[in-house]
A and B are shown apart, each in its own frame.
Chain A
Amino acid sequence: MDIELIQQILIAALKTGTPLLLIALGELVTEKSGVLNLGQEGMVLMGAMAGFAGAYYTGNLFLGLTLAMVAGMMMALLFGVLALSLNTSQVATGLALTIFSIGLSSFLGSSLVGSTIPGFNSIAIPLLSDIPFIGALLFNQDILIYFSFVITACTWWVLHKTRVGLTIRSVGENPHSANALGIKVIKIRYLATIFGGAMAGMAGAYLSLSYTPMWMENMSAGRGWIALALVVFASWRVGYLMLGAYLFGIASILHLVMQGFGFDISPNLLAMMPYLATLIVMVLISSDSLKQKLSTPMSLSKPFDPKLH
């Protein structure tokens, strides 16, 4: 394999991995606070639709991006009202959020199908982008990919090095103790859930404004679900999460690679690859069940009602 092909594959993996990374980062923070939001897929779709609509009607990509994040946050807020304030089952509410968002996004976006806009351009960072091999890979991408690097670093720093992070983790590990210490458990969980929504919205905007600058029903194609598996795969660690996202990115484009090498396999069978890879990875990670048990936030998906304490 020549070096140029490897570079092309890595660039493609970076591009496919970025939405997964963004969604999974949001879900990681949400889950660290003890909330399991299965509505990621729906929030991504709402973000993608709102982002495209915003950019299409105003002509401003950043307005679209903002709108996408707001849409994701609104959906997360809706989840919060039901699951955190009304104490509905988090699993059922997350599924409901996805079903609702799929319907809402295809309904609101039905007039946008087929429209195109110029998406985010790649920005070459002076000097750095001239470094051979790495330059084109890391320093000649669009702004959302740079954002994803920054956000990943910030998330790690906040979660593990600041008081805010400690608060989030304590709420997810033991809400009773956190409550006794005077931490507003529900408020923290709301904020973490809304952060998850904003990240999912941004991932949606990446899909509809950069990855494929257009809007299509169900265009997230299960990325929200794959990201959920990714969080488990990374055992709730930001570093592994980033690595995992790009590995999943490679798995998702494997079919393109194989077609490139001239394998004659039906494109529909190859399109199964990311989902199959997710299944296989899920089996592999569960072989170490003790480690997984230890790294799962203790009160994940368990509702907390401050009135009962």
Chain B
Amino acid sequence: MLNIQPRIESSKAMVWCSPLIAIILTMLVSSLMFILLDVRPQQAFEVFVIMPLSDSYNLGELMVKAAPLMLCATGLAICFRANIWNIGAEGQLLIGAVVSSYFAVQAGEDAGISSIMLILLSGMLAGAFWAAIPTALERFFKTNIILSTIMLNYIGLYTLLWAVHGPLADPQGYGFPESAMFAEAVMLPLIQEEGRASVSILIAIFIALITGLVLFKTLPGFIVRVYGEEQAAARYAGFSSNKVVWGVMLFAGALAGFAGSAEVMGPIGQLIPSVSPGYGYAAIIVAYLGRLNPFGIIISSLFMGCLYMGSDLAQIELGLPTAITGLFQGVLLFFMLACDFLINYKISFTSKKVFSKPLKATLINNI
């Protein structure tokens, strides 16, 4: 008989097994879906797994997709660790892209490395500013940060649309909602011969590594984790809640803003309405898949980048709608949440009736 028992201590092994189980389950469900769509699962597997990793161009594209995901997810993971539900990475990314585009279109071919740095900085500041709004509202008025960040995502999207239709529209663009192409001199250096992968992926990995070290090996990281696990304990220890909330929100905003500027100054090269195919939302899944651990996020964002690539290729090769990405993401996140059940509960097949009350209350939903 199936027997479900709460665990006395949450399982460390399951914390890392659960995303793997979730990925396997997602693959099973998607195979089923491919069969229904008249696509052989082997063919789909080839498109989604083999092809993105096959040649250097595709690998580069994978990096292009993984970089913004990694940057956003690293910031979000820190927020979620502190139990702050920042859903605003998408808006912060878009505002970062808009503001850095404003400066980038003005730069000429004689711009040097310092201009690149300044433009990137402007994007980071813009993202941080966009994150500062909900933070201030939360601190001063106790508004719900989930709702305010989501509202700011919409406002950010319309700001982008307003910018490409109005002030930043290319004067020679025949009325297309696009900015002028940026000068070569303000583009981020590429890391491959052919392809579009820029240094942003290296910066993203570097930031994730540093964030991981800070989170697990230093006092500020410890404070963030304590604050997220038990606010009362953090208060008792004298940790300032203002510092934590402002710190993690501005950090996440700056990273998302950086991701936005790296997008327009890298693979895209101009400001367009579709700067982000929902990176900010996908980053929530990436953060969870990486167990809110910056080291894990490096891997999970590469995985998610692969999924994005696969959907692009599936559209070309198999004629499937691109909406399939969102579907897979959602299925994956659901399975993740369901598998996390295994962290706090043990399922065994016994016939004996076991006393199911744990010795002490387990912390359910500790992440």
Give the interface segment out of B113-121, B148-156, B205-213: B148-156
B191 within 8 A of A: no
A side interface size, CB within 8 A: 47
- Would you call A88 and B340 a contact (CB within 8 A)? yes
B358, closest chain A residue (CB): A308
Partner of B330, one of A104, A272, A307: A104
Q: Which of B151, B161, B341 contacts A279 (CB 8 A)?
A: B151
Report Cα–Cα, A99/B333, bound state, in Å.
9
B365: Cβ under 8 A from any A Cβ: yes
Q: Could you give, for residues 276-307 of chain A, a 1 whenever the CB lies within 8 Å of some chain B CB and a 0 otherwise?
A: 10110011001101000000000000010101
Cα A108 to Cα B333 with chains together (Å): 19
Say yes or no for A143: interface residue by CB 8 A criterion: no
Is B195 located at the chain interface by the 8 A CB criterion? no
- Which 8 A-B residue pairings sit nearest by Cβ, starting from the closest? A100-B330, A103-B326, A106-B323, A103-B327, A268-B162, A107-B323, A110-B321, A96-B333
Assuming the contacts A103-B327, A279-B152, A305-B364, asked whether A271 and B158 have C-beta atoms less than 8 A apart, the reply is yes
Question: With A99-B281, A107-B324 given, is the CB distance from A93 to B330 under 8 Å?
Answer: no
Is the CB–CB distance between B365 and A86 below 8 Å?
no
Q: List 9 A-B contacts (CB under 8 A).
A: A78-B334, A103-B330, A107-B324, A107-B326, A272-B158, A279-B143, A282-B148, A286-B141, A307-B356
Chain B residue total in the interface (Cβ 8 A)? 51
B328: which A residues are within 8 A, CB to CB? 103
User: What chain B residues lie within 8 Å of A101 (beta carbons)?
Assistant: 330
Assess whether B365 is in contact with A96, with CB atoms less than 8 Å apart. Answer: no
A99 to B331, CA, bound (A): 9
Assess whether A99 is in contact with B329, with CB atoms less than 8 Å apart: yes
Contact at A100–B334, with CB atoms within 8 Å?
A: yes
Residue interface mask B283-326, A partner, CB < 8 A = 1? 01100100000000000000000000000000000000101111
| Chain B residues, Cβ within 8 Å of A279 | 137, 143, 148, 151-152, 155
Contact at A107–B327, with CB atoms within 8 Å? yes
**Chain B residues whose C-beta falls within 8 Å of the C-beta of A229 in the assembled complex:** 144, 147, 151
Interface residue B357 (Cβ < 8 Å from any Cβ of A): yes
Determine whether B166 belongs to the interface, using a CB cutoff of 8 Å to chain A: yes
12 additional A-B pairs beyond A272-B158, A279-B155, A289-B142, beta carbons within 8 Å, are A96-B337, A100-B327, A103-B324, A103-B328, A104-B327, A228-B147, A279-B152, A282-B141, A282-B151, A303-B365, A305-B6, A308-B357
In contact, B144 and A282 (Cβ under 8 angstroms)? yes
